[in-house]
Structure 1
């Protein structure tokens, strides 16, 4: 595994992959990773009132970090993030993230169980199967961006039946999906969207019962990209887990954020983090 050297708020490994990151808060060392198509600002805003010392990287292909030269997958993200922890000399850590980031955290925990003090799993979208149905529209967006102009990709999205329905019934969710097709990827690869959908967060759901660290898991209703059923299945297979269904972040965003912060800080306090 490549060794990564720290330089201020950027790290680079021997493969010349540079990772940009931010640090905020006071408390137990915690690595939180953002979702597909987002960047560390998603983590910094969502967990701004969390009682923890949070390291939040831009994952490769996102934000100000470099792209991979080869295919994007959970295993490669895991390798880079383990090297990230090693470079920071953090031996014991809480791992977690949102959506894709939570999948990377679980993947890392399976390899680093002796170093992982706890898990924070928010709105997971992957299990142990490739090409999950809930992410098909994101995969389509990735393919359109790779093979069409930006305007053509936007046109294809406008014709998508699921997107048309969400515009009427859940406009905030539709806006979140549409953000994947905006210019946040103008200087980054589009392949990360479709390639990550081809992967699985971990090899076998039942193997998660070997994880015994305290685990905080959340889901919310009215979120077709992050179904409650996925979070529930993960919770059922991690023995020492707390599972919370929060108010919809699309329909009740302030209430969602308030309950997330309160429940997460209670989890951290009750486990002496």
Structure 2
């Protein structure tokens, strides 16, 4: 169910699934993504009350000109929790959303029970900027029609060979029509650039944040090639560095690359791992 709530000076859009009486898991998407990133994953999380959020500047949430620091994003989520009277929750995030999960767990530990990190760590592939460039470039483009936009999405280097209906619905949620009937993404490059600066700028010490986390964690890692470089965005050895930095974190490999892990077999494998983790079961039984 699509819902809005006022928090931290903006209107935040989120998708709600499951019974509110069940334990709550809040999911937060990647840097340029939207709440529909997790549609397939959520289908495997039947025993939870799941909230999938459009972070500020993305999807159907408000897009202020400024204030895209990690603290701003965190206050949005805390305001959502306050409005829904959620004292503490489990947090899950993909990429940028995983960093936000780390930030919240480290700085607001009393509000976070467990964290699920999907393909994010203290260090990523050294050529990560080149690898994500096609995703960033689409934020400044316009397409003459929805068909043209979808054709470009299907042919993107990170989606080649993986396209399915789940990816199509995600990319459809990413666009809006302009006054002249052309198509462009809902997210704008200046806002995303500010979010990058907020995540990587002065005052954000990820090593300190990661090492301070007391809550149980699960790091889910997809190691198939992403984009033109031909390597994973998060190689296993870098993922394990972060797992070993945390006091209580487990590692789970899943199928797919940094993006397709959310829309294919990797999403089903991730849901199974998350179910086991949130129920404190042994992950070693998962292939």
What is the TM-score normalised by the length of structure 2?
A: 0.71
Structure 1 position 246 matched with structure 2 position 254: yes
Range moving further from structure 2, 28-37 or 255-264: 255-264
The counterpart of 2:271, out of the listed 261, 264, 267, is 261
Matches within 5 A, 1:183-222: 183=175, 185-200=184-199, 202-222=204-224
Count of aligned positions: 243
Query: CA shift at 1:236, angstroms?
Result: 1.5
Q: Secondary structure of 1:200's match?
A: helix
What is the TM-score normalised by the length of structure 1?
A: 0.74
Structure 1 position 10 matched with structure 2 position 10: no
Question: 2: CA distance between counterparts of 1:44 and 1:266?
Answer: 19
Matches within 5 A, 1:5-84: 9-13=3-7, 15=9, 17-26=10-19, 27-50=22-45, 51-84=47-80
Which residue matches 1:97? 93
Which residue matches 1:150? 142
Cα 1:187–1:199 change in 2 (3 A) is closer
5+ unaligned residues in a row in structure 2: which ranges? 177-183, 227-231, 282-287
Query: CA shift at 1:137, angstroms?
Result: 4.5
Which residue matches 2:284? none
Question: 1: CA distance between counterparts of 2:186 and 2:277?
Answer: 38
Question: 1: CA distance between counterparts of 2:185 and 2:74?
Answer: 25
Cα 1:122–1:251 change in 2 (3 A) is closer
Query: CA shift at 1:42, angstroms?
Result: 1.3
Contact 1:143–1:191 (8 Å) recurs in 2: no
Which residue matches 1:226? 233
5+ unaligned residues in a row in structure 1: which ranges? 1-7
Give deviations 1:185-217, integer Å, cap 9, x for gaps: 544422233333334365131442221211111
Query: CA shift at 1:172, angstroms?
Result: 4.0
Q: Secondary structure of 1:97's match?
A: strand
Question: 2: CA distance between counterparts of 1:74 and 1:194?
Answer: 13
Structure 1 position 133 matched with structure 2 position 117: no
Question: 1: CA distance between counterparts of 2:262 and 2:104?
Answer: 32
The counterpart of 2:105, out of the listed 87, 106, 109, is 109
